[in-house]
Structure 1
Amino acid sequence: MHRIIDWNELWKAVYAASPLRKKKDLDPGSAWDKKAAAYERAVNDEAAIAAQEVGMMALLPGDRVLDMGAGTGRLAVPMAQVAAHVTALDPSERMLEKLAAGMAAKGLTNYSCIRMRWEDAAIGENVEEHDVVVAAYSLGFYDLGAALEKIDAAASRSVCLFWHAGEWRTPAEIALRQAVFGGEGEDVGYPDYSYIINILHDREIYADVTVYEAVLTNRYASPEEAAEEWATLHEAPEESLGTVAEHFAAMLEPDGAGGYLHRKRRRQAMIRWQKK
């Protein structure tokens, strides 16, 4: 059937619109090395939603799982508590160090780490085929079609992808990004899961989709701590820290014990397909 819309080319156009994103792509490992500590703090409060997502994958005790873009182990650690072995692949050495510490804290040894960009992976050569491949919020590639083809080739039984459904940023966060970055702040988001589904469909991969609501609650000692974490993760200029702190002072809720909570609700999607 003739394609009227080339979804992968549309994705590329959105991707290329962001100068900030193209700068990060020059050396993603180094970029994430600088953010590893802040990222770990940001996801430490997501144990409940991570456990929910691992449960959605239907992993088997004998599974060998490849976590592409594993980060600090938000999913890799709970997956290792279920599966036979988890291979964590990430371009950042510091992120993988945090992941290894998380595994050690749980007494887990059934894992291995590969420090590599997914673009440099060659299935059957430097990355083995696994029963299941997981990619959670790690699909920020210029050529998403090529990345998805490689993910599919790396899985012998199933693939599980996680991505946002609809706009993942709140209106307040969009306004903050525009205040901090100006016009460039408008071009940093990615299209939602509908693009991924259509890119897969064009490759005759027909996936199931589960859309669900995630309630995320982060805890902070102060608005300033929240602002510093956000500024680090988003590479905000130092002179904007006051603006970021004002945003969080308005958004955070007291937790009744001297700290603060930041609550967010997001629609997310699991995209899953079976190989056989």
Structure 2
Amino acid sequence: MKIDLHTHVKLSKKSEFSPAYFKEMMAEARGNGLDAIAMTEHFNTLRYEDIYEMLDRNYPYENGYYLAEGIKVFPGIEVDIKETGHILIIGRRENVLELRSRLEPHTEKGRFIDFRTLLDWSEEGGFLRIGAHPFREGTPLHHLSDELLKRLDAFDLNGKDVYAQGLEAYRAKIGEFAKRLGRPVVAGSDTHQFMQYGSVLNEFDRNFETVGELKALIREGAYCIEVSPALDIKVKSANIIKGLLKKSLLLPVDDDLEELGDQSA
């Protein structure tokens, strides 16, 4: 079973949610060999709730995921923390939405929640918690305390960062970091545009139906990370297309400064 554990279903934080764009994204995810995604949309994206309203109207939800256009879509959220950095939190729909509601006072820069409190709030509920792109220049995690980092379940081998920093150097850096903390590494494309699907993914040696089962398989190491030989062209083309689409929609281009290298959308 193949899953991408870091994905977005909106073009950018400031764009409206488009059901047609979502449907196209799922079709392309399936076309790139994926069976499932974690939908880790930014917690402070415009009208976050629109995503779930559309999903509830159009797709069945069972066992903790939506079945959308042949893809298992596990709910999730990407949260900015006060100390700088992003945390991916994946779980059941009701738990993700409850956490998002609690985070409402913390959606603006300068009011982001501190890491310890976010960990405390997400301790219950069976969440899978992943440290996103820990060595990204603009939003790293490596500067945080080991005590807190060890409360995460895994760290993100991020498709955009592999492109920006090089596979071997990045893999060695994140591998050493995760080993020191006693946590596994999992793959996430960090896509906002469908060309990026398949750049990196996780292939599990058996199927899973719930986030709890997924967490157990990650702990067992019952998976391997696949890095596409076409990663560079996938990420580069996705970012070019994303930029052109944002310009055509008259969207600001400075909401994703961390797209490549020192870049926050």
Report the TM-score, using the length of structure 2 for normalisation.
0.37
More helix by share: 1
Report the TM-score, using the length of structure 1 for normalisation.
0.36
